[in-house]
Structure 1
C-alpha cells in the first residue's frame, strides 16, 4: 500500500518494540487506538503528556488492518493520511514545525 501511494518502505522494515529512549527522544507520540495510548502512558508515565491519537482532530480511532482485505488497507491508508495532514496543520499553526 505504501509503495502504490509513493512512499518507499524497505521490504525488510518491520515493526519494533517501543523503548523508553524512543519516547524520551520524541516531542510527540502518535498512536492509532485509545488502548495503545493508555498502554504507553502506563508504561512510560513521564511522557504521557505527549501521547495522542493520530485521529485526535476528528475524534477517530484507526483500526489496524493486519490480516484484513485490501479494501481495509485502502480505507486505513486514507484515515492515516488525513490524520497526518491534520496534525501537520495543527503543528504548523502552533509554529511547532
Structure 2
C-alpha cells in the first residue's frame, strides 16, 4: 500500500490526514469567499509536520511521489507561501529534496 495509506494502530494514515486537510481548506476558502477574511492580511496555520506537508500536497495538487520528494520539516520550522501576481508558491528554501515540483 505504501506509507501514505498505512494506518498506525489507533492512529491515522496520511490519506486520513489528507481528508482532514481537504475539509480544513474547504472551510478556509468558504470563509474567504464570504468576506470573513481581509485579503490583504496574512493567515497563520500552526500544526504538526504531516498536516503541513499534506496541506501543501492538497493546495498544490501534488502526487504522493511529489509529496515524498518534499524535505521533512524540522520541529517548529516555518513554511511560508509567497503570493506574487495572485499566485502562491512555496518559499524556495523550503522546497524539495528534488526540484521536480
Using the size of structure 1 for normalisation, the TM-score is 0.27
Structure number with the higher helix fraction is 1
Q: Report the TM-score when normalising by structure 2.
A: 0.26
